[in-house]
Amino acid sequence: MTSFNAMAERAWRVRELYGEAEARRYGRAWTREEVALGFVGDVGDLMKLVQAAEGVRAIPDAQGKLAHELADCLWSVMTLARMYEVDLEAAFETTMDELEAGLSARAGQS
């Protein structure tokens, strides 16, 4: 299994390649906001594939495309975290700790 940091570094290398392609095509690399807007588009594509997986849209090879789109969304999140200088691995651990503690506390109240 690939480590989180190795995945994040690979995501950033791909972002740099996109930046080079954007500079050739548009004269500059996308801004952080434009990358975030691209992520919104990816989430929209993901939702169409979720609908296909649930049987309410007809999309050939929906399962394979769903896997691809989930990976695309992960790439976007990793890229945005780097662009905004967020330690995503640490933030994930902290967030999961908070969620688990909150859920455990609620379970104890029932």
Tell whether 65 is covered by a domain. yes
The mean pLDDT of 85-108, rounded to a whole number, is 96
Range of the domain at 58: 32-109
Distance, CA of 87 to CA of 4 (rounded, Å): 11
What are the tens digits of pLDDT across the range 21-64? 999 999 999 999 999 999 999 999 999 999 999 999 999 999 99
Mean pLDDT over all residues of the chain?
A: 96
pLDDT of residue 110: 67
89 within some domain = yes
Asked if residue 73 is part of any domain, the answer here is yes
Mean pLDDT, rounded, for 72-100? 98
Report the percentage of the chain scoring pLDDT > 70: 99
Domain count along the chain: 1
What is the reported pLDDT for 13?
A: 98
Question: pLDDT value at position 102?
Answer: 96
Instruction: Kindly indicate the confidence band of residue 1, based on its pLDDT and cuts at 50, 70 and 90.
Output: confident
Using the structure block, give the residue that is written with the tokens 């996308």.
Answer: 30
Average pLDDT estimate for 55-81 = 97
Kindly state whether residue 63 falls inside one of the protein's structural domains.
yes
